[in-house]
Amino acid sequence: MSVIKTIALSVVGVLALTFSGFGLKPLLGHDVTLIIDGQPRTVSVIYGSVSEVLADEGVTVSARDRVTPSMEAVAGNQAVIEVEYARLIDLTLNGQRGAYWTYSTTVSAVLEDLGLGESSIQVSAPQTDSVPREGMALTVDTGYDVDVTADGQTRTIHSFGTVANALTDLGLAWDENDVITPLVADQLTDKLPISLVRVDEQTVNRDVAIAFETQNSDDPDSTQGKVTVVTEGVEGVRTQTVLQVLHDGQVVSETVTAEVVTREPVTKVTTTGTKAPAASAPAVSVTPGSAQAIAHDLVLARGWDESEFNCLVALWNKESGWRTTAANPSGAYGIPQALPGSKMAAFGSDWQTNPETQIKWGLSYIEGRYSTPCGGWAAFQSKGWY
């Protein structure tokens, strides 16, 4: 049986070769539809598997290519063999690059595979372009909704690519001094907040007051404590040139680049009388003891204790010996040695002779400057005055 079968097959082979040489359809042959990347053609074969048909037709495939039916299947009469070549897309999607294999033969079909067929996108190649068998590079940007704040308003825009693209889409121009957050080269992300701060510089001139000084001298011919203004003080003027940096029209920093005195200040000149007042009537005799008794009651009335009173006694013993008419060439006067003595008029017009008026002023001065008599006594011991 094996011999007979071999002879029969040989005869078929001879017949097939004979008729093929005359351009006739081989005996015992049949038609197969071969579809390569969607392009069909009909071929005539005698027998064999899908792999044999492809080999006879010079169709080579790789492991990634898709063949239907399988390579081992028998290619029967009216069989349809489909070959889809795998194509490598060097894909950059929203700034992220990677390899993407596809069987699609057009850019639009690749986008459909990616689920981007109906969306608003930007593509580096026309969607009608074919994808070569060796593959291609493709850049796709799906765009994002971003919030752009500039020139006092915030707008939402759907844009692609980078921060710079979003600003340009809104018709915004900027220069190297402006502050843009994030950086113009940064890729957009969904709901990204973008701000454009206009940075400008301007130079302004302004006048700054120069305080005047005060000079005082004693006047022995004027009543003790009387202050006389000889020359009124006048402030001077310094004109500055200032470089200002503005963010969206608001000054954020200043630098003085130049200044010149355009008007000198005028010193205030005063005199203070040192002449003791003439006695218009016999002076009331006030002893240190009676003055201290008045002070004791006033100290306790302020909530201070005996130790504070003792500090006050020590302090004013040094200053005036508790004498209401104690005068100093400097103009200091009375038990607390007010300088000038006329300050005590705030507590009574009889400040020159009344120990209570002088003590009230003195306690008010001590409280305002040293908090307590012991504080004033400590200052006196340290400096020699209070």
Q: Name the CATH code of domain 87-141 (choices 3.40.1350, 3.30.420, 3.10.20, 3.80.30).
A: 3.10.20
Domain ranges in the chain are 18-84, 87-141, 144-197, 201-273, 280-383
pLDDT confidence of residue 275: 86
Q: How far apart are CA 21 and CA 204, in angstroms?
A: 101
pLDDT confidence of residue 6: 30
Cβ-proximal residues to 292 (8 Å cutoff; 6+ apart), any chain: 313, 322
> What's the CATH class of domain 144-197?
alpha beta
pLDDT confidence of residue 221: 87
Q: How far apart are CA 111 and CA 274, in angstroms?
A: 103
> What's the CATH class of domain 201-273?
mainly beta
- Taking alpha carbons only, the member of 340, 275, 154, 115 closest to residue 166 is 154
pLDDT confidence of residue 7: 29
If DSSP states are collapsed to H, E and C, what string results for 345-373? Answer: HHHCCCCCCCHHHHHHHHHHHHHHHHCCH
pLDDT confidence of residue 207: 95
pLDDT < 50 regions, the chain? 1-27, 280-283
CATH of domain 18-84: 3.10.20.30
- Taking alpha carbons only, the member of 212, 247, 214, 244 closest to residue 229 is 214
Model pTM? Answer: 0.44
pLDDT confidence of residue 8: 33
- Taking alpha carbons only, the member of 270, 130, 288 closest to residue 213 is 270
Fold agreement (18-84, 87-141): yes
Residue count (the chain): 386
